[in-house]
Amino acid sequence: MIKIHKENKYKNDSLSGVLPIFKESGMTSHDVVSKVRRLYCTKRVGHTGTLDPMATGVLVVLIGRAAKAAEYVEKGIKQYKAILRLGIVTDTGDITGKVLSESDVPKNIDIQKIENDFSGIIKQKPPMYSAIKIGGRKMVDLARQGITVDIPERDVHIYSLKIEKTKKNEEYSLDVVCSSGTYIRTLCTDIGNSLGCGGTMSALCRTQNSGFTESDCLKLEELEKIPFDERKNLLIDTEQLFSSNPKVYLNSFLAKLAMDGNCIYQKKAGYSFSEKTRVRLCDDRGFFSLGEVMDYNGESVIKPIKKFRIENCPYDKTDR
């Protein structure tokens, strides 16, 4: 049980940084966020992508000003390990749902063909039991009320798909590297449908997200045992979320302009990145803002699109 003194609750809103958590089965992503709020005594906590309650794995939690990064990193590449159970169809697409039908499974399954058919850019329809909002309401809430919504298909990218037979009858392990927005439950369902027997997801673990893997994560029970002062030092620099974006170093004059929200001419900064390139804006104190290259009256400029530094903040991991 976590004990929080009333005078300390939500006291440390100056904290900022990234905290990779290994979410265990049975918890919602919101449960994790709520517990981190209490453990760090701060209101401003978010994450880079929801995991279903039955799923386990990497949940990248964002604290303080780092929470503003969510909209810029949610579209990154993610990796999952899942178990596909063939011959069963459920209303949720996973083993927790109501069984709608059961069928015999073909004896000779061409795994290579399945891997090829479901790799690359494919069409996928999000499941009704999902957090996607329609008219301001989550689809999962509509589904629980018996309301069905026709959801259009959308493109997702499966960069890699490896399938192996497990020791259990009718079960196959999936190792998937995919774009954000890919539903592994739907992938399992679609594979089952392509074989004519149906399928459902019986287990899911996210092994990589936003550049972090399972080995980078702490479990909540481990975090609870760490004293608060040491807990603060576990926060990772927000900049690491954008490690794949090129750095732009600015002198003190240009950095001050950028910190005030002004666009910076590339030629004055000594850079020539192509339009729409996102960059890390840095000065002699380090990373302070995410920027994007764009055209301004025929000139190439870098526009600061999200500032992450708080001036004179002792705990801000972007201000070091």
Active site residues: 52
> Quick one: tokens of 244?
């794949």
Distance CA 29, CA 7 (A): 27
The two three-digit tokens of residue 254, written as one number: 């240009």
Give 213's DSSP letter.
E
Burial group, residue 129, by CB count within 10 angstroms (0-12, 13-18, 19+): buried
- Nearest residue to 205 via CA among 83, 58, 56: 56
Query: Are residues 239 and 287 in contact, defined by beta-carbon separation less than 8 angstroms?
Result: yes
Alpha carbons 206 and 242: distance in angstroms, whole number: 20
Give the dihedral sign, CA 275/280/282/288.
Answer: positive
183-187 long-range Cβ contacts below 8 angstroms, 24+ apart: 183/93, 183/124, 183/126, 183/127, 183/130, 183/156, 184/80, 184/82, 185/52, 185/92, 185/93, 185/94, 185/127, 185/129, 186/93, 186/124, 186/125, 186/126, 186/127, 187/82, 187/118, 187/124, 187/158
> What are the residues whose beta carbons fall under 8 Å from the beta carbon of 296, sequence distance 6 or more?
263, 303
